[in-house]
Chain A
Amino acid sequence: MINADTIKKLENIVGKEHVSTDKADLICYSYDATQKQFLPEVVVHPGTSEEIARIMRMANEQSIPVFPRGAGSGFTGGSLPTAGGIVLALGRLDRIIEIDEENLVATVEPGVVTGQFQKAVEKLGLFYPPDPASLKFSTLGGNVAECAGGPRCVKYGVTKDFILGLEVVTPTGEIITTGGPTMKGVVGYDLTKLMCGSEGTLGIITRIIIKLLPLPEAKKTMLVLFDSIDGAAQAVSAIIRGKIIPTTLEFMDSATIDCGRQATDLEVPEQAQAVLIIEVDGERDLIEKQAKKINEIVQPLGVVETRIAETAGESEALWQIRRSVSASLRKVNPDKYNEDICVPRSKVPEMIRKVEQIANTSGIPIVNFGHAGDGNIHVNVMIDKQQPGQEEKAEQAIEAVFKAALDLGGTMSGEHGVGIMKAPYIPLELSGSVADYMKTIKKALDPNNVLNPGKIFIDTQEKD
């Protein structure tokens, strides 16, 4: 329980104007993109890592749970204050501290919005590739904490592949740094990687050192329609076997195409059962060659139609087809569960078939699209929550989807993390000893279990 004394102390640490217990504020920091709501007891907006460290020390003394929050765009509830306590809103830490053009390294605070950072480096001819669909509003801190991915990760890798070092406030209130601005570094354990994807359970990231690349000169986008999902999947394997790693390899299955057809004036011929959006980037002559080669590779695989964008505007139009999908899903059913399983690339068609079976048995529509290039499929289970029984059915279907993915050597989540949404399913994927190994780390670093308790592992909520 937080009392007046605690509030006073918090005000002393961060300043009165950055602490609020006003009901309106509690409501505004009670949700994220899971649409679940938990009211915190107080919202605090710290301005420095020192302030955060003092808050954590106080939280340990008084056993108050602390929940770090970026933009609250998470899909698994990582930022939700499930046990009341303090929401630590990190939006004030929003400076780009340095962009070092000589070493291609940038240093930022965690509250910087990903897309704004990308714009800033691109102005200098530099490039930060990870591109979650939420990039216009999610924060770099949230991206690191979830190890966010996006379409471009096929070629460039996910968030963790670009993080060289961090400043972290530990759960007990120490300030540590991990890694550093060098391209190599092997002294001690790789704590940077440990923090990536730790979902705010092992420390609060207060500074991020990021590796940059030169901005590719140009890109070329093509949209290929296939008469079967197998054709599209074979195309993915064939392109990669052909020693080309495209920047993106996005796919949509037939259910998704149907949605698009119903919702927008998407002009896609009836025979099209799957769509691939393929993009290559790099030097201009090189990508012309690559695009040509890709076209040759895919043509024998049941291609119904190929559209190649010649201008930026045309490329934008092709991407618009992919982007319109999410919104059009609502035409199928108003509510959705958005899961993001990942399987080995070659297993994508098999996975899609399994999902189709699951959809048929459960009687609930499921549409799939996502990052075919790295086997990361967005499985959207579409229901109407106002109809009784649908939620349970959806949950059964989701469990079946997870099991199918795991059977194929995959994982329950490629990018969205565990949070509270997938926590109950952890035993499906992690063996007892693996889970224990992880929990041992958590317990050692956060002995009083005050930092984001109840996330990833349900039983971290219990204290021993």
Chain B
Amino acid sequence: MPKAKLKKLEDYQEQIRQCVKCGACRAHCPVFGAEKHEGLVARGKVALSQALLDGDVEMKDKFLLDMSQCLLCGSCCAECPNKVPTEEIVAAARREIASKKGLSTFGKGVSTVLKSQGLMKTLTKSASAFSALLFKKLPESSGLRLRIPLPFVDRERTLPPIASKTFREQHPEFIEGEPGQPTVAFFTGCGINYLYPEIGEAMLKALKFIGVNVVIPKDQGCCGLPAVSAGAGETVEQLADQNLEALNRKPVDHIVTACASCNAGLGKIYAEMGEPFEQMAAKVEDIFVFLARHGLPEKLAALPKKEKRVRVTYHDPCHLRTRGITKEPRQILKALPQVDYIEMADAGTCCGLGGTYSVYHYETSQKIGAKKAQNINDSQAEMVATDCPGCIMQLQDSINHAGQKQQAVHILNLLVEALDELG
């Protein structure tokens, strides 16, 4: 079995050189937008990465803090004239830091600095009750442990309730479709498996409607994206190995996801690990791209529009938007009979969750989220739909904090009703 291997910071030397220091990323980086400091924008982080390579900066203080201030959202790269992949460079730098100084150094270093600046909130009892429950269920390697780790969860954060039985526990590994149909693997990710099993149910329904055979490997793991964010390179590599094995056991034509982070984790991070990971990555498809390819929008549009409709807007998860997936989720949403679609301003800006980002930087994360909540409110939508459990969690938290009433949902949640009608 080939072992997964991530790139090292020095492998990015050429891409780092391609940053021409134009500053265009200042207009697109959500963290910079919230905290206006050059160390937080892509240009600064690329310069710091170069300094790290050159031995011009030590792994401490502001350097650690700045390198921790990145959502790995890729918004900078999408608009960069030279397509400098800052999110990859920062992830590689974090791995470098973690490998030299130990995994906890990064987190600890960051939290010490934050604490000294009075930013880090003291830890909580109310949130830990939730986390304790969650942690009993979560495997060691689940990214959710990194995203909402026990000692770090801020008192202020509102979290979804935890499912009593995980999605994968509730379903067999193989669900046969109609004869002659292709086979798809359903990569659930941690969010759907542990927090939002109903999204998984809706997904199954959609896949059954298309008629494909569905494989849900029990031993699939976390995609590894939160570990990428935490600089835990080895964990990422282990997870890639584990998922390769789980997803390759039965021949599948596609690997579908309903989580933007998983889509990018499998489709982008694994793609850089060489064969056979590349081959696996090439099979990854977002559920709405898959459904659109199978003509679902047209079928939905043929349904009569409901008399009573809800106003729904769409939030682009960064990990889909930066991979060019913006059209299909909207197509499906617009075609739903019970939906009046409204496009909000800046639908494509980050929600502020960012892997493990909101753990260390909950305040900045909230600032970024507050802008989003404002845009949702201004659009007059009653619901914000998206295509990622992580975004749903963050969007709902931001909406709650703004004292607004909108509900954050997955498009799949809304699709169920129409699927019943299509029969």
- Residues of A with Cβ closer than 8 Å to B? 17, 20, 22-25, 27-35, 71-73, 89, 91-92, 94, 113, 115, 134, 136-138, 326-327, 330, 334
Asked if B66 and A134 sit within 8 Å, CB to CB, the answer is: no
With a CB–CB cut-off of 8 A, which chain A residues contact B43? 31
Given contacts A27-B47, A28-B48, A326-B81, is CB(A72)–CB(B23) below 8 Å? yes
A-B pairs with beta carbons under 8 Å apart, 8 shown:
A24-B57, A27-B57, A30-B47, A31-B47, A33-B20, A72-B23, A89-B38, A136-B27
Asked if A327 and B82 sit within 8 Å, CB to CB, the answer is: yes
- Residues of B with Cβ closer than 8 Å to A? 18, 20-27, 36-39, 43-44, 47-48, 51, 56-58, 61-63, 65-66, 81-82, 117
Given contacts A72-B38, A91-B36, is CB(A27)–CB(B56) below 8 Å? yes
Asked if B44 and A33 sit within 8 Å, CB to CB, the answer is: no
Choice from B20, B44, B56, B117 contacting A28 with Cβ under 8 Å: B44
The 8 closest A-B pairs by CB, nearest first: A136-B27, A24-B62, A22-B62, A73-B23, A24-B63, A28-B38, A137-B26, A28-B44
With a CB–CB cut-off of 8 A, which chain B residues contact A134? 22-24
With a CB–CB cut-off of 8 A, which chain B residues contact A32? 21, 23
Distance of A24 Cα from B38 Cα, bound (Å): 10
CB distance from A68 to the nearest CB of B (A): 15
With a CB–CB cut-off of 8 A, which chain A residues contact B25? 137
With a CB–CB cut-off of 8 A, which chain B residues contact A34? 21
With a CB–CB cut-off of 8 A, which chain B residues contact A29? 38
Distance of A334 Cα from B44 Cα, bound (Å): 21
Asked if B27 and A28 sit within 8 Å, CB to CB, the answer is: no
Interface centre among B37, B38, B63 (most CB of A within 10 A): B38
With a CB–CB cut-off of 8 A, which chain B residues contact A22? 61-63
Distance of A138 Cα from B24 Cα, bound (Å): 9
Given contacts A23-B58, A35-B21, A330-B82, is CB(A28)–CB(B26) below 8 Å? no
With a CB–CB cut-off of 8 A, which chain A residues contact B117? 17
CB distance from A380 to the nearest CB of B (A): 12
Choice from B23, B57, B61, B82 contacting A33 with Cβ under 8 Å: B23
Q: Which partner residue on chain A sits nearest B57 by CB separation?
A: A23
CB distance from B86 to the nearest CB of A (A): 14
Distance of A92 Cα from B37 Cα, bound (Å): 10
With a CB–CB cut-off of 8 A, which chain B residues contact A33? 20-23
Asked if B51 and A71 sit within 8 Å, CB to CB, the answer is: no
Q: Which DSSP category, helix, strand, loop or mixed, fits chain A's interface? A: loop
Q: Which partner residue on chain B sits nearest A91 by CB separation?
A: B36
Asked if A24 and B21 sit within 8 Å, CB to CB, the answer is: no
Distance of A115 Cα from B26 Cα, bound (Å): 12
CB distance from B59 to the nearest CB of A (A): 10
Interface centre among A20, A24, A73 (most CB of B within 10 A): A24
Distance of A261 Cα from B297 Cα, bound (Å): 35
With a CB–CB cut-off of 8 A, which chain B residues contact A330? 18, 82
CB distance from B37 to the nearest CB of A (A): 8
Interface centre among B21, B24, B48, B81 (most CB of A within 10 A): B21
Choice from A23, A30, A137 contacting B24 with Cβ under 8 Å: A137
Asked if B82 and A24 sit within 8 Å, CB to CB, the answer is: no
Asked if A20 and B62 sit within 8 Å, CB to CB, the answer is: yes
Q: Which partner residue on chain A sits nearest B45 by CB separation?
A: A28
CB distance from B22 to the nearest CB of A (A): 5
Distance of A414 Cα from B44 Cα, bound (Å): 29
CB distance from B38 to the nearest CB of A (A): 4
Asked if A138 and B23 sit within 8 Å, CB to CB, the answer is: yes
Q: Which partner residue on chain A sits nearest B66 by CB separation?
A: A24
Asked if A137 and B27 sit within 8 Å, CB to CB, the answer is: yes
Q: Which partner residue on chain A sits nearest B38 by CB separation?
A: A28
Q: Which partner residue on chain A sits nearest B51 by CB separation?
A: A27
Choice from B36, B57, B66 contacting A94 with Cβ under 8 Å: B36
CB distance from B26 to the nearest CB of A (A): 4
Distance of A17 Cα from B23 Cα, bound (Å): 24
Q: Which partner residue on chain B sits nearest A116 by CB separation?
A: B27
Interface centre among A23, A94, A115, A138 (most CB of B within 10 A): A23
Q: Which partner residue on chain B sits nearest A37 by CB separation?
A: B47
Q: Given contact pairs A23-B56, A72-B21, A137-B27, enumerate 4 new A-B contacts (beta carbons under 8 Å).
A: A23-B51, A23-B63, A28-B44, A334-B18
Distance of A29 Cα from B56 Cα, bound (Å): 15
With a CB–CB cut-off of 8 A, which chain B residues contact A138? 23
With a CB–CB cut-off of 8 A, which chain B residues contact A31? 21, 43, 47
Given contacts A27-B48, A327-B82, is CB(A136)–CB(B24) below 8 Å? yes
Q: Which partner residue on chain B sits nearest A23 by CB separation?
A: B57
Distance of A23 Cα from B64 Cα, bound (Å): 11
Distance of A327 Cα from B79 Cα, bound (Å): 11
Q: Which partner residue on chain A sits nearest B36 by CB separation?
A: A91
Asked if B61 and A24 sit within 8 Å, CB to CB, the answer is: yes
Choice from B23, B62, B81 contacting A137 with Cβ under 8 Å: B23
With a CB–CB cut-off of 8 A, which chain A residues contact B27? 113, 115, 136-137
With a CB–CB cut-off of 8 A, which chain A residues contact B56? 23, 27
Q: Which partner residue on chain B sits nearest A73 by CB separation?
A: B23
CB distance from A239 to the nearest CB of B (A): 30
Asked if A24 and B23 sit within 8 Å, CB to CB, the answer is: no
Asked if B18 and A28 sit within 8 Å, CB to CB, the answer is: no
With a CB–CB cut-off of 8 A, which chain B residues contact A326? 81
CB distance from B5 to the nearest CB of A (A): 28
Asked if B22 and A28 sit within 8 Å, CB to CB, the answer is: no
With a CB–CB cut-off of 8 A, which chain B residues contact A20? 62
Distance of A34 Cα from B63 Cα, bound (Å): 23
With a CB–CB cut-off of 8 A, which chain A residues contact B39? 24-25, 28
With a CB–CB cut-off of 8 A, which chain A residues contact B58? 23
Q: Which partner residue on chain B sits nearest A329 by CB separation?
A: B81
With a CB–CB cut-off of 8 A, which chain B residues contact A136? 24, 27
Distance of A316 Cα from B119 Cα, bound (Å): 43
CB distance from A342 to the nearest CB of B (A): 22
Distance of A91 Cα from B26 Cα, bound (Å): 12
CB distance from A208 to the nearest CB of B (A): 19
With a CB–CB cut-off of 8 A, which chain B residues contact A137? 23-27
Q: Which partner residue on chain A sits nearest B23 by CB separation?
A: A73
CB distance from B76 to the nearest CB of A (A): 11
Distance of A28 Cα from B62 Cα, bound (Å): 11
Q: Which partner residue on chain A sits nearest B25 by CB separation?
A: A137
Distance of A423 Cα from B62 Cα, bound (Å): 35
Distance of A113 Cα from B29 Cα, bound (Å): 14
Distance of A23 Cα from B51 Cα, bound (Å): 10
Distance of A327 Cα from B84 Cα, bound (Å): 12
CB distance from B66 to the nearest CB of A (A): 6
